[in-house]
Amino acid sequence: MNRNVLKSIAIFVLSLFVLLGLASCKKDDVTKYDVKFLDGVTVLKTVQVEEGALVTRPIDLESKQGFTFINWFSTPSKNHTFDFSKEITGDTNVYGGFSEYQEDVRQWYVVGSGAAPLLVASNWGANIGAQFALNKPSATKNEFTITLDLIEGDEFQFAGPSWIHKRGFGYLETINSGDTQVFDGTGGGYGDVVSKGRNILVKLSGNYTFTLKTYPADDTEDTTNGSYVPGNPVYNLGTYDTISWVRNGDAAPLAASTENWYIKGSDITGWADLHTPYTKFVKVGSEYSLEIYLKNTEQFMFTSAITDHTTNVEGGQAHYLNGGVAGATTALWETLFTGANNWTPKESATYVFVINASVPSEPKITASLKNSTIPSLMTEQDFYVNGTFDAAGSAWGAVTNDAINPDFKLLKVGETNVYEIKNVVLKVGDELIVQGMTKGSVVGLNNWGNSFGFSYLKQTTVASISGNGGTNIKIVTPGIYNISFDAYNRSIKIAEGGNDIYLKGGFEGCGNGSNWDHGFVQTLKFSAVLGEEGLYILEIDLTNGGSTVSWGLAVYDKGVVTGNGTFVGRDRVGDTGDAVILGETGNPTVAEGHYYFVYNAVTNIVNVYITNPFA
């Protein structure tokens, strides 16, 4: 054979071996990652996947005896489903969701606020009834459904028997329809733990059917919340729970105006137009219903008001119902109430009133007695004011899962159902609510069911409603205020606070110098310190012809000029004054001289100075 031919063959064979070797090396250099499929901490299967490739969904692993397979998730907390269309770029764990069936016996409700009629009536759960309830079509499936109109800007959630059980934005399976965003959340990322308790914000008006699927056997407690205490959850988390939805079409056009009915009476409203969720009828179709406790000393009637939805302003009385309206009641009415004009219950009890306004100019009223039990709110609750106003800077620190601060407790006023806290210093932007807790509670227990905010406020001259769908009272006029809550009509009053303070004691200019009678004279009255909320000062010379002078303070509510007031003595003397206070017990005593007395109405502490502390 020709030598050149042999040489060419040898070169070809050598090149072939080199190419095969390079190909072999290139294949061995491909990066692969382990993808583990787990059930809890148990590894079900491990596969190797080349970098940038996709992992195949393991259909063969999606079964478990006695359990229902939910989905594959990217985190152990099961908050995010695993995306099988995403390229693998590192070792990856994929967690299987398996749930054992347990019947969900909770009743779920839609709660919220906005323009949609059902959410207006809900007012964040202030009214709960059949019209807000989700239906459970099957006794063997934990699926709850509701169909309702929603208007852009509405906010809502689904809540169980208490706010501990709530399902919000983070449970939505999707928030878009094609390229259109339909829902948003008021905070937190979509699907994140923090977002599960957020409100669902409507971005597109329409009529919707929602389906809430629950898996109660896998519910957990929100341990990520800063207020979490073991056994005392901030709220319940549904590990696998989901909310799906279908938009059925457009929402029904909103009426240009709405007529709302309220109760009005001698004690329940003080004959004022007190329009709160407690005194307001809930409208369903042409009927309005109200469940309310009335004392047998009450005189009452009913009035309506028209809300103009173009201005969102509620006007004055439109219609009224009392004994003077012919044909307004049925014969049964006389078995429950007396009175030819205003009515009075024959028995202190909870009554259910229903107004039929199918003919608006001729409304009819019926009533039934539900029970004679005094509401627990009137007998078994302590009340606290909670909010961002805490002078120590501990926002919402009055009532927490860890403790309740007694300094923020409202005290009962005599034998009434009114509770009050005095001299609360409030700044512009401060937010607050009145919160009812089981009597004697020492921890908050997350009992938000008895929380009362802006919609229960009697007057709005000092406050507005908080933004972003909130219901808190937001202060617009700063000052010192007395905050009261009436457990009978469930209303909040914020009135001007402050005190009138007088110095008294055994010194010249106080009575005859020995009888401690300040006589309400101006020379012994403290003045408010300008720019210092809650502080009062009195500059005075104290003499009595001896070496020492005993003294005390008489503190009155502003404007009171009778009685002895509240005595402030040795046990309320502070330690910041530069004057020497003599004696550890009995009445406080100082040497004769010129002094500045400074009283703090918030802390009920008096300090005594030789030099003016505000100079």
Cα angle for residues 493, 502, 408 (degrees, 5° grid): 35
Low-confidence ranges of the chain (pLDDT < 70): 1-28, 187-194, 224-234, 309-313, 316-317, 326, 390-395, 401-402, 444-449, 467-470, 512-514
Radius of gyration in angstroms for the set of CA atoms belonging to the chain, rounded to a whole number: 35
Pairwise CA distance, residues 169 & 471, whole Å: 19
pLDDT of residue 537: 96
SS3 39: strand
For residue 373, which phi and psi values (nearest 5 degrees)?
-75, 130
Pairwise CA distance, residues 482 & 602, whole Å: 11
Considering only CA atoms, which of 449, 453, 480, 448 is closest in space to residue 464?
453
The architecture of the domain spanning 376-496 is Sandwich (2.60)
User: CB neighbours (10 Å) of residue 87?
Assistant: 12
CATH code that applies to domain 257-371: 2.60.40.3620
pLDDT of residue 383: 94
| pLDDT tens sequence across 43-59 | 999 999 999 999 999 99
CATH code that applies to domain 32-99: 2.60.40.4270
pLDDT of residue 188: 45
C-beta separation of 401 from 376 below 8 A: no
pLDDT of residue 22: 47
Cα angle for residues 361, 366, 369 (degrees, 5° grid): 155
| pLDDT tens sequence across 183-205 | 998 754 444 556 787 889 999 99
Overall fold of domain 499-609: Immunoglobulin-like (2.60.40)
pLDDT of residue 571: 92
**Class of the CATH domain delimited by 109-249:** mainly beta
